[in-house]
Amino acid sequence: MLRVITGTAKGTLLKVPTTGLRPATDLVRGAIFSILENLTDDWSRVLDLYSGSGALGIEALSRGADWVDFVDRERRCCDIIKLNLGKTKLRAKAHVYCGTVNKTLSFLDKEYSIVLMDPPYADTTIGDVVEQLANSKLINQDSIVVVDHSSRFPLQGKFGTLNLFKEHRHGDTTISIYRKEK
């Protein structure tokens, strides 16, 4: 089980699917949110892609995000995200989309201040998703895109109009932060 690190739901234990997931550790989630807190004050709308248990998006809500859209393709993960949102009493500030990331990105129509991505480490198409985001109307000049990925599969420094802004490594995990060109 994971726990919410801080905020209104601090300490709440989150259920995690029993097989096939590698949720971001407390250390990595803490690093992601420490970086974000130093980069932005805009937590109005957050997009959590490859949500798994929903830990990243729930952490954002617990820390004051106004709204989070969660996206995961597996029904069991979507059900667990809804369960975790209920446990943290944050369900009214979120929506769970159960479908592939590519398909969901094709119909979402709001701008997000923060996009969180915690894809499967073996997924080599992550760059394509970042490129799709870069060419979408979902991000603006002030949006921040955070990708938590395997250090063995480094991401490019540029995807469309998104440039690598910061990169932090924690063991086998790299946190890549992208912003639009200004």
Sequence-distant (≥ 6) Cβ neighbours of residue 38 within 8 angstroms: none
Distance CA 57, CA 69 (A): 8
2-17+24-180 is a CATH 3.40.605.10 domain: no
pLDDT, tens digit, 9 for 90 and up, residues 121-145:
888 889 999 999 999 999 999 999 9
Say if residues 84 and 15 touch (Cβ distance below 8 Å): yes
Please compute, for residue 77, the number of CA atoms within 13 A of its CA located in the half-sphere on the CB side. 23
The residue ranges of every structural domain in the chain are: 2-17+24-180
State pTM to two decimals.
Answer: 0.95
Average pLDDT of the residues in 22-45: 90
Alpha carbon 138 to its chain centroid, in Å, reads 14
Q: How confident is the model at residue 49 (pLDDT cuts 50, 70, 90)?
A: very high
pLDDT, tens digit, 9 for 90 and up, residues 97-107:
999 999 999 99
